């Protein structure tokens, strides 16, 4: 059966590469992936399985039951991410939006659909004891504050990330195990990296600094310079870095979204978007407190005011070592090198997969086959077999290993997993972080 799965994906090699390249050439931003979603929908419908679309605006989900599924059989969901990232200098960036697939999400979709091709093959499908979904999810990349407001006005409940919105809407309610993949996010020599290393989470805020306008030359002493307040806060944050613990993996990012209007007027209104990344919710909260004190202290010194609006963040990824099903699946891939995630492996970036890891087991692997930096203008696919074909095989084989023979492996994964949140608890938690 493993040979059949591999053979099926090999037969459709060209079709999968063409699909990935088509999506690569038409990148779309989070929650606006209309064309990409229609491509995924069309592909899944051709497989003759049940397809739902319009999930959290653009999400698409195809579902089928294996031939041996019983009433309590597990439900595994293979995830692909629909969105590109704002990277206007990338050669394949959309000239109007600046969005490009500089994070390789187009590959994920082709991997997911390649797995769908193999697993819906009648002979393979017959052996599966469980339900399988292929879920294309909107908006994995950070959605900035202005865009969130627009989306909220258009009815998106959790506009911060696609996965949180789909959790809120109940799309993950039936899922017992999720499977994800990505291009390598940490330096890995091998072709495949099995498991989910811990990743940072983040909190984000929109900080408005209010000063007082005055003529910049005639009477600057009558003004309160909001930009000076923001600058002072930046310097304090810089000096505070020595208090960050290495093991907390802290990253601080700030962008000035509005920095004054007229050069001959003391700026009285500055808007800063701020992001704090760290390894745990406690560390994030601790550093967020320091950032707040920096802004409040600077505002006090100059006689201005700050106003903070909390934005939804991502939860840290809970580390998950390679599952037996994933390891067994990898053994069937000949000619590829791989290694497993070790305890202590850490990714400083963030992903909304972190939110999912607080609710359900997420089996993950990452892969090679590209050059350049993630989110960089030089990101490019260099090896279709490593970037797409082998990952598609590994994804399909892992689902097969989970669900074959009464789904013993899937049931083991479910039994061992301890969730941090129920779905209701999670939704309540996210709401509490964005209360106005």
Nearer Cβ to Zn ion (100/228): 100
Residue 350 touching Zn ion (CB under 5 A): no
Spatial distance between the Cα atoms of 365 and 279, rounded to a whole number of angstroms: 20
CB of 350 to Zn ion, least distance (A): 10
Nearer Cβ to Zn ion (349/434): 349
Which residues are CB-contacts of 374 (< 8 A; sequence separation ≥ 6)? 102, 103, 104, 183, 185, 349
313: three-class secondary structure by DSSP: strand
Output the six-digit token pair for 410: 């899937």
Residue 416 burial by Cβ neighbours in a 10 Å radius (0-12, 13-18, 19+): exposed
**Helices vs strands, H then E, count in the chain:** 15, 19
Interacting span for Zn ion (CB under 5 A) from 98-106, 192-200, 241-249, 311-319: 98-106
Please give the size of the binding site for Zn ion, defined by CB under 5 A. 1
Residue 87 touching Zn ion (CB under 5 A): no
In terms of Cα–Cα distance, which of 22, 8, 127, 155 is closest to 69?
Answer: 127
Nearest residue by C-beta to Zn ion? 103
Output the six-digit token pair for 271: 């808007």
Spatial distance between the Cα atoms of 55 and 69, rounded to a whole number of angstroms: 25
CB of 105 to Zn ion, least distance (A): 6
CB of 133 to Zn ion, least distance (A): 21
Residue 103 touching Zn ion (CB under 5 A): yes
Interacting span for Zn ion (CB under 5 A) from 95-103, 110-118, 225-233, 426-434: 95-103
Nearer Cβ to Zn ion (137/156): 137
CB of 85 to Zn ion, least distance (A): 7
Nearer Cβ to Zn ion (355/409): 355
CB of 354 to Zn ion, least distance (A): 13
CB of 351 to Zn ion, least distance (A): 7
* Alpha-helical regions (H) of 200-280: 226-240
φ, ψ at 186 (rounded to 5°): -125, 160
Interacting span for Zn ion (CB under 5 A) from 96-104, 116-124, 157-165, 195-203: 96-104
N-to-C CA span, the chain:
54
210: three-class secondary structure by DSSP: strand
Residue 387 touching Zn ion (CB under 5 A): no
Output the six-digit token pair for 90: 């990338």
Residue 396 touching Zn ion (CB under 5 A): no
Output the six-digit token pair for 202: 């983040």
Cβ atoms within 10 A of the Cβ of 259, count?
16
CB of 248 to Zn ion, least distance (A): 23
**Contact track, Zn ion, 29-68, x by CB under 5 A:** ----------------------------------------
Spatial distance between the Cα atoms of 78 and 363, rounded to a whole number of angstroms: 9
CB of 423 to Zn ion, least distance (A): 24
> What is the separation of C-alpha 13 from the centre of its chain, rounded to a whole number of angstroms?
26
Interacting span for Zn ion (CB under 5 A) from 99-107, 259-267, 329-337, 340-348: 99-107
Spatial distance between the Cα atoms of 203 and 264, rounded to a whole number of angstroms: 35
Nearer Cβ to Zn ion (49/103): 103
Output the six-digit token pair for 57: 């605006």
**Contact track, Zn ion, 122-141, x by CB under 5 A:** --------------------
CB of 374 to Zn ion, least distance (A): 7
Interacting span for Zn ion (CB under 5 A) from 100-108, 206-214, 352-360, 428-436: 100-108
Contacts with Zn ion, residue ranges (CB under 5 A): 103
């Amino acid at each position: 059966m493993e040979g059949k799965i591999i053979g099926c994906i090999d037969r459709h090699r060209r079709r999968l590469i063409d699909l990935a390249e088509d999506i690569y050439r038409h990148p779309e931003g989070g929650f606006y992936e209309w064309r990409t979603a229609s491509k995924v929908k069309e592909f899944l419908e051709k497989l003759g399985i049940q397809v739902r679309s319009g999930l959290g605006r653009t999400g698409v989900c195809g579902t089928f039951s294996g031939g041996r599924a019983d009433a309590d059989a597990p439900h595994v969901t293979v995830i692909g991410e629909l969105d590109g990232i704002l990277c206007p200098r990338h050669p394949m960036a959309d000239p109007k939006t600046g969005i490009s697939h500089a994070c390789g999400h187009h590959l994920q979709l082709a991997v997911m659909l390649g797995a769908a091709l193999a697993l819906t093959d009648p002979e393979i499908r017959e052996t599966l004891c469980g339900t399988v979904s292929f879920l294309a999810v909107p908006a994995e990349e950070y959605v900035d504050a202005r865009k969130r407001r627009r989306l909220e006005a258009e009815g998106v409940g959790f506009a911060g990330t696609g996965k949180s919105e789909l959790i809120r809407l109940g799309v993950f309610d039936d899922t017992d195990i999720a499977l994800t993949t990505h291009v390598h996010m940490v330096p890995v020599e091998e072709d495949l990296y099995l498991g989910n290393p811990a990743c940072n989470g983040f909190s984000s805020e929109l900080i408005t600094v209010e000063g007082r306008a005055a003529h910049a030359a005639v009477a600057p002493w009558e003004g309160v310079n909001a930009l000076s307040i923001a600058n002072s806060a930046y310097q304090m944050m810089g000096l505070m870095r020595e208090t960050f613990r290495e093991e907390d993996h802290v990253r601080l990012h700030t962008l000035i979204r509005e920095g004054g209007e007229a050069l001959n007027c003391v700026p009285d209104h500055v808007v800063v978007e701020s992001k704090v990344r760290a390894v745990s919710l406690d560390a994030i909260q601790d550093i967020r407190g320091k950032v707040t004190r920096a802004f409040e202290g600077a505002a006090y010194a100059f006689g201005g005011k700050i106003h903070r609006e909390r934005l939804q963040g991502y939860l840290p990824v809970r580390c998950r070592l390679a599952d037996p099903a994933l390891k067994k699946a990898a053994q069937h891939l000949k000619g590829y090198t791989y290694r497993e995630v070790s305890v202590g492996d850490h990714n400083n970036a963030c992903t909304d997969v972190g939110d999912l890891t607080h609710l359900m087991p997420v089996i993950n692997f990452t892969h090679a086959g590209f050059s350049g930096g993630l989110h960089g203008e030089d990101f490019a696919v260099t090896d279709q077999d490593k970037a797409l074909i082998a990952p598609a095989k590994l994804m399909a084989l892992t689902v097969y290993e989970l669900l074959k023979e009464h789904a013993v492996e899937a049931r083991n994964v479910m039994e061992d997993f301890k969730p941090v949140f129920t779905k209701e608890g999670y939704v309540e938690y996210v709401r509490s972080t964005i209360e106005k």
